[in-house]
Amino acid sequence: MTRTLIAGNWKMNGLKASLGEIRDAAAGVGKGKAGVEALLCVPATLLTVAAEAAHGSELKVGGETCHANESGAHTGDISAEMLADAGASHVIVGHSERRTDHGETNEIVAAQAAAALRAGLTPIICIGESLDQRKAGETLDFVASQIDGSIPEGAKAEEIVIAYEPIWAIGTGEVATPDQIDEVHTAIRTRLAQRFGADGADQIPLLYGGSMKPGNAAEILEVKDVNGGLIGGASLKADDFLAIYAQAK
């Protein structure tokens, strides 16, 4: 049985003044929601205080990226071990904004995901096509190649999460339709089954991300192979995050 995960990605947003949102989110999750995990991935500067704010609640906190190495001369970078030390349980790797802004390739993303596993974190491995790729009919091939290249060798199915985030739907207000999501998520599950077997593939939560909001979450979460969401803008406000969480089963 696949776990359900409602995860927020704060991206480069949030100051200490935003901790009230984390406290409110922590206070609102867990009640009667066995089987639905809640997670907020926050900037590294907030991780320790966010972990403290969530302490004793069902809310987990995570990082937004990590370096592949455990430590060393990498100015400005943060290792998976550091994230774990700060209280993270998960880390997002391979977000399209990291792939674009920092030239992160599938190979780099796989190394980051391996680092997360080494540190005892769950990597949320992001994949998704651009608008040009969608228009050219390349979506399924591209996403399959990202899956093949971004999941590290030796990873076990129960240790990873995949997030499908079509780049054209991120922060644009444009949401993929249920049919579009269904097509890609089904293809992702099939590809994962080739590597992990059908039972293994079934254990990997497949999140959808891209302009997910309280008003469209129910429809998205109903799609067959959708096991949760990776939510950007709407995760910044506890009320919105909790309204999405409330619709997850």
Binding residue ranges: 9-11, 171, 211, 232-233
Q: Quote the least distance from Cβ 182 to ligand 13P, whole Å.
A: 19
Q: Which two tokens stand for residue 164?
A: 């499908």
Count residues binding ligand 13P (CB under 6 A).
Answer: 14
User: Per rule CB under 6 A, is residue 28 in the interface with ligand 13P?
Assistant: no
- 7 bridge partner residues: 39, 230
Amino acid at 38: A
**165 labelled catalytic:** yes
Range in contact with ligand 13P (rule: CB under 6 A) among 15-23, 73-81, 135-143, 229-237: 229-237
Among residues 209, 217, 161, which one has the least CA distance to residue 8? 209
Tell me which residue has tokens 């992001």: 126
Closest residue by beta carbon to ligand 13P: 232
Quick check: 212 binds ligand 13P (CB under 6 A)?
Answer: yes
> What are φ and ψ of residue 163, in 5° steps?
-120, 120
Element (H, E) at 196: helix 178-202
Contact pick of 35, 120, 171, 215 for ligand 13P (by CB under 6 A): 171
Contact between 172 and 133 under an 8 Å Cβ cutoff? The reply is: no
**How many residues are recorded in the chain?**
249
Q: Residue 53, interface with ligand 13P (CB under 6 A)?
A: no
Please pick, from the candidates 231, 238, 242, 244, the single residue that binds ligand 13P as defined by CB under 6 A. 231
- Contact status, residue 88 vs residue 62, Cβ threshold 8 Å: yes
Closest separation in Å from C-beta 72 to ligand 13P:
28
Instruction: Count other Cβ atoms within 10 Å, centred on residue 120.
Output: 12
95 is catalytic: yes
> Alpha carbon 67 to chain centroid distance?
17
Catalytic residue among 81, 95, 104, 129: 95
* Of positions 4, 9, 150, 227, contacts ligand 13P by CB under 6 A: 9
Residues acting as catalytic residues: 95, 165
Chain contacts with ligand 13P (rule: CB under 6 A): 9, 95, 165, 170-171, 209-212, 230-234
